Amino acid sequence: MLEILAHSGPARLGIWHYTDKKIPTPNFLLNITPLTRRIEHDIYIAPHRTHTSREPLLVHYGTIAGRARIGRFGILPYSGFGFDIPRELAEAGVEETLALAELYPGYGAVVDGGRYPDLREHCARKLSRRALLCIAGGSKLCQRPRLLVEIVTRIREAVKPNTVLYLPGAPPALMPVLAYMGVDLFDSSHAIRAALRGHYLTRHESYPVDRIKELPCSCRVCISGSAERLRNSTNLLVKHNILQLLELVGEIRESLRHRRFIKLLESCATTSPHAMAALRILYREKYTFLEKYTPAIP
Ligand SMILES: [Zn+2]
Integer-rounded Cα Rg, in Å, for the chain is 19
Contact (Cβ atoms closer than 8 angstroms) between residue 43 and residue 30:
yes
Q: Where are the domains of the chain?
A: 2-192+272-291
CA distance 32 to 244: 17
Of 259, 188, 142, residue with least CA distance to 45: 188
For residue 225, the CA-to-ligand 1 centroid distance in Å is 9
Does position 292 have pLDDT exceeding 90, yes or no?
Answer: no
For residue 191, the CA-to-ligand 1 centroid distance in Å is 12
CA distance 212 to 125: 47
Residue range 68-77: mean pLDDT, rounded: 96
| Burial of 40: CB neighbours in 10 Å, binned 0-12, 13-18, 19+ | exposed
For residue 272, the CA-to-ligand 1 centroid distance in Å is 20
Residue range 106-111: mean pLDDT, rounded: 97
Q: How confident is the model at residue 298 (pLDDT cuts 50, 70, 90)?
A: low
CA distance 200 to 213: 12
For residue 59, the CA-to-ligand 1 centroid distance in Å is 29
For residue 211, the CA-to-ligand 1 centroid distance in Å is 16
The model's pLDDT over 236-271, given as tens digits with 9 standing for 90+, comes to: 999 999 999 999 999 999 999 999 999 999 999 999
Q: How confident is the model at residue 210 (pLDDT cuts 50, 70, 90)?
A: very high
Does position 93 have pLDDT exceeding 60, yes or no?
Answer: yes
> How big, in percent rounded to 5, are the helix, strand and coil portions of the chain?
45, 20, 40
Q: According to the model, what pLDDT value does residue 35 have?
A: 94
Contacts by 47-51, CB closer than 8 A, 24 or more apart: 48/74
Q: According to the model, what pLDDT value does residue 203 have?
A: 81
Residue range 161-173: mean pLDDT, rounded: 97
Of 107, 131, 109, residue with least CA distance to 120: 109
Q: Looking at domain 2-192+272-291, which of 1.10.10.10, 3.20.20.105, 3.90.550.10, 3.40.50.720 is its CATH number? A: 3.20.20.105
The model's pLDDT over 52-64, given as tens digits with 9 standing for 90+, comes to: 999 999 999 999 9
For residue 245, the CA-to-ligand 1 centroid distance in Å is 11
CA atoms within 13 A on the CB side of 106: 5
Compute the Cα dihedral for 198, 248, 56, 108 and give only its sign. negative
Q: According to the model, what pLDDT value does residue 114 have?
A: 97
Contact (Cβ atoms closer than 8 angstroms) between residue 214 and residue 44:
no
Does position 3 have pLDDT exceeding 80, yes or no?
Answer: yes
The percentage of the chain sitting over the pLDDT mark of 90, rounded to a whole number, equals: 94
For residue 251, the CA-to-ligand 1 centroid distance in Å is 16
For residue 37, the CA-to-ligand 1 centroid distance in Å is 18
CA distance 12 to 93: 30
Q: How confident is the model at residue 295 (pLDDT cuts 50, 70, 90)?
A: low
Q: How confident is the model at residue 18 (pLDDT cuts 50, 70, 90)?
A: very high
CA atoms within 13 A on the CB side of 125: 7
Compute the Cα dihedral for 51, 52, 56, 57 and give only its sign. negative
Other residues' Cβ atoms within 10 Å of the Cβ of residue 47: 14
Which pTM value belongs to this model?
A: 0.97
For residue 256, the CA-to-ligand 1 centroid distance in Å is 24
Pairing of strands 57-60, 74-75: parallel
For residue 212, the CA-to-ligand 1 centroid distance in Å is 13
